Each structure stands twice: as C-alpha cells, then as structure tokens.
C-alpha cells in the first residue's frame, strides 16, 4: 500500500516536471516563430560583447596612439 503511494507520488512529480518543461518549450517556440525575439538579440549581444575592462581600454588607447603616429608620419 505504501509502495503504491510512493510510486504514485513519483509519477505525479515526473509528470509535473515534464509538463512544465513542455509548456516552457511551447511558449519559447511560439515567441521565436512570431518574431518577437528582442530578448534573444539582447542576450546574443550581451554574450558576444567583450567585457569592458582595463585591458580593452589600454588597447583602445594604444590603437589611438598608433593612428596618431601614422597621421604624423604621413605629414
């Protein structure tokens, strides 16, 4: 009797997990097919954009110095 209750509870839990995952999948799929994917492009931009740190700032500064020297050399 008790084993049956445990199995029933486990089955209900599994069905809840699978059902909620399926529901989220359907919602996300519908949003993407509808073309309402601004959150997706924002996520892509956030991932692809390099972190703004001191190393990137120093590289930008170095790039500007090289450009300045190149302009001075042309004159």
Q: How far is CA 33 from the centre of its chain?
A: 18
pLDDT at 17: 97
Domain count across the chain? 1
* Statement: residue 60 has pLDDT above 90: no
Residue range 13-40, pLDDT digits in tens: 999 999 999 998 887 777 677 665 676 6
User: Which domain does 15 fall in, by range?
Assistant: 2-74
Cα–Cα dist 2/12, whole Å? 15
What's the pTM?
Answer: 0.43
Handedness of CA 47, 48, 49, 54 (dihedral sign): positive
């Amino acid at each position: 009797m008790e084993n049956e209750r445990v199995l029933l509870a486990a089955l209900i839990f599994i069905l809840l997990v699978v059902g909620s995952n399926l529901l989220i999948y359907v919602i996300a799929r519908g949003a993407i097919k509808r073309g309402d994917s601004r959150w997706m492009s924002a996520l892509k931009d956030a991932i692809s954009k390099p972190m703004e740190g001191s190393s990137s700032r120093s590289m930008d500064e170095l790039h500007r110095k090289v450009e300045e020297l190149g302009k001075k050399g042309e004159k």
